[in-house]
Amino acid sequence: MIYTVTLNPALDRTMWVERIRYDQSNRIVREDRFAGGKGIDVSRGLTNLGVPNVALGFLGGFTGEEMRARLQNENVTCDFVRIHDETRTNIIIHELSSGRQLSFNAEGPEVKPHEIKQLVEKLDALAEAELVVISGSLPPGLHHDIHRKLIESVRQHGAKVLLDLTGPSLRVGINSRADYIRTDASELAVQTGGELITTADVLAAARHLQKETGGTVLVSTAARETMLVDDEHELIATPPVVKVESTTGAADAAIAAFLYGLQRCEPVETCLRYAVAAETAKTMT
């Protein structure tokens, strides 16, 4: 069984307008609301691909209840810890005339120590877990070292860990020797302390990170390539050129498809192809 952990989920309120006009009323052409958060998006992708999984994390207030209901309507299995504070709402505005989008991401609720303890206890009890995905931002007041505790809880049952984090949180995961790390070239530069200009630069930095963890590193680049580095491979996949509707959730779709391949015991080359195909398809919607 695959589990995903989203510590700071959000209800994504997405609106489309013809053109953004400042200091004037803007008429909304279309509006949708989605249960969002990186781990949740991975769970959604896994569910769509027919891979059994459970979404874990924190949900609170009326917004949290709406998110839970929306996920249930999508057949995403959930086991969230209910918290006292309200789950955050993000605002995404698509400008149809330009194809651009604006994102306003809220900080999120404060998670109490006893609520954190409940999540850790859930992870401690995951005897059947094969792999756990930990991704996304931290809510206010929660220290990045929480990821070390989560990884320790997962590892006691022999489960593998995939991380999609940034900054100090990712460094904690690297030091904990995560089995899989998904990142992008800009974050890779932060973690390895170098300027990454060419493809060779990115590959060398990815290899450095892979040696630190001993696992598998997946890196997306500004040139739209995706690289995979493990003990035996240095692979580069280039997606086809498509009309991009939105990049929201594309990286999470890639993770879901990569795990789909792993579940089928496919070669890593095939898993990487699945990842890039899913990521590309997601940008078209």
DSSP state string for the chain: -EEEEESS-EEEEEEEESS--TTS---EEEEEEEEE-HHHHHHHHHHHTT--EEEEEEEEHHHHHHHHHHHHHTT--B-PEEESSPPEEEEEEEETTTTEEEEE----PPPPHHHHHHHHHHHHT-TT-SEEEEESPPPTT--TTHHHHHHHHHHTTT-EEEEE--HHHHHHHHHTT-SEEEEEHHHHHHHHTS---SHHHHHHHHHHHHHHHSSEEEEE-TTS-EEEE-SS-EEEE-PPP---S--TTHHHHHHHHHHHHHHTT--HHHHHHHHHHHHHHHHT-
Q: Is 252 a catalytic residue?
A: yes
Among the listed residues 12, 41, 164, 252, the single catalytic one is 252
Active-site amino acid positions: 252
